[in-house]
Amino acid sequence: MATSTPRTEGAVLSYLGLRRAVGTIGIALPFVLVVGDLAFGGDGLRDSISSYYHSPVRDVFVGSMCAVGIFLYCYRYDRPDRLLANVTGTAAIAVALLPTRPETGATIAEVVVGWLHLVAAAVFFVGLAVFCLDLFTRGEVRNPRKAARNRVYRICGWTIIACLVLAGLDAAFMPDALSARWNTLFWLEAVAILAFGVAWFVKGDTVLRDRPPSDPAPAS
């Protein structure tokens, strides 16, 4: 049987640390943005997560998305993970650096950048859903903990997809007055981000980790 070395153990811990970091940012981001915006005299709830770019907590939003992008770039596991991480990480940084258009008084350039922002956001969320539904669920299910983790990943992945579909329907059919009143896009994006955070947090062996093998019974 192959034994682990300090080098391989360090690599595993690094991957787990990256996963936990990405998950922590995803879980915390919606709450930090809302509370921070209120603390600095902003509106608290805004039309979308992306609209916090135009708020007192812009640096928190930009920094968090760039951090997620950099963490994904550093995520060097199997080849499918690496390719998807690069695409998703690029999209995360684009979401941060190509802001959504302001609610009022947008120039033509800001409208164009806003559309690019939407494309990047869609790629980002689709990439996160693929991580949950495909890459995270790979491997043989050898114990109940792995089965439970797969259920969490699938729930999170389909939650992200559902939020994307509902966001599209909201943009196409929901009257602007109702959407603004109920902050529907914000809630859909917040739920999708929380789902991705939970999936990565679980993937980092923070919860539902495999039980250590039992010690063999001593010989009589």
The answer to whether the CB of 137 falls within 8 A of the CB of 153 is yes
Q: Looking at the domain assignment, is residue 11 inside a domain?
A: no
Q: 204 or 154, which is more confident?
A: 154
**Is residue 151's pLDDT more than 60?**
yes
Q: Which tens digits make up the pLDDT trace of 182-207?
A: 999 999 999 999 999 999 999 887 77
Question: What's this model's pTM, rounded to 2 decimal places?
Answer: 0.85
Q: Looking at the domain assignment, is residue 219 inside a domain?
A: no
pLDDT over 90 for what percent of the chain? 61
The answer to whether the CB of 160 falls within 8 A of the CB of 132 is yes
Phi, psi for residue 201 in degrees, rounded to 5: -65, -45
Domain count for the chain = 1
The answer to whether the CB of 44 falls within 8 A of the CB of 211 is no
Q: Looking at the domain assignment, is residue 52 inside a domain?
A: yes
Half-sphere exposure for 122 (CA within 13 Å, toward CB) = 10
DSSP of the chain: -----HHHHHHHHHHHHHHHHHHHHHHHHHHHHHHHHHHTTS-SS-S-SGGGGGSTTHHHHHHHHHHHHHHHHT--SSHHHHHHHHHHHHHHHHHHHSPPPPSSS--HHHHHHHHHHHHHHHHHHHHHHHIIIIITT-S---SHHHHHHHHHHHHHHHHHHHHHHHHHHHHHHS-HHHHHHHTHHHHHHHHHHHHHHHHHHHHTTSSSPPPPPPPPPPP-
- Helical H segments across 74-107, by residue range: 79-97
Q: Looking at the domain assignment, is residue 7 inside a domain?
A: no
The rounded mean pLDDT for the chain is 87
Q: Which tens digits make up the pLDDT trace of 97-107?
A: 999 998 788 89
Structural domain for 108, as ranges: 18-203
* Coil/strand/helix, residue 219: coil
User: Where does the pLDDT of residue 160 fall: very low under 50, low under 70, confident under 90, or very high at 90 and above?
Assistant: very high
d(CA 85, CA 140): 23
pLDDT over 70 for what percent of the chain? 89
Q: Looking at the domain assignment, is residue 8 inside a domain?
A: no
Q: Looking at the domain assignment, is residue 190 inside a domain?
A: yes
User: Where does the pLDDT of residue 8 fall: very low under 50, low under 70, confident under 90, or very high at 90 and above?
Assistant: very low
Q: Looking at the domain assignment, is residue 101 inside a domain?
A: yes
Q: Looking at the domain assignment, is residue 85 inside a domain?
A: yes
d(CA 119, CA 116): 5
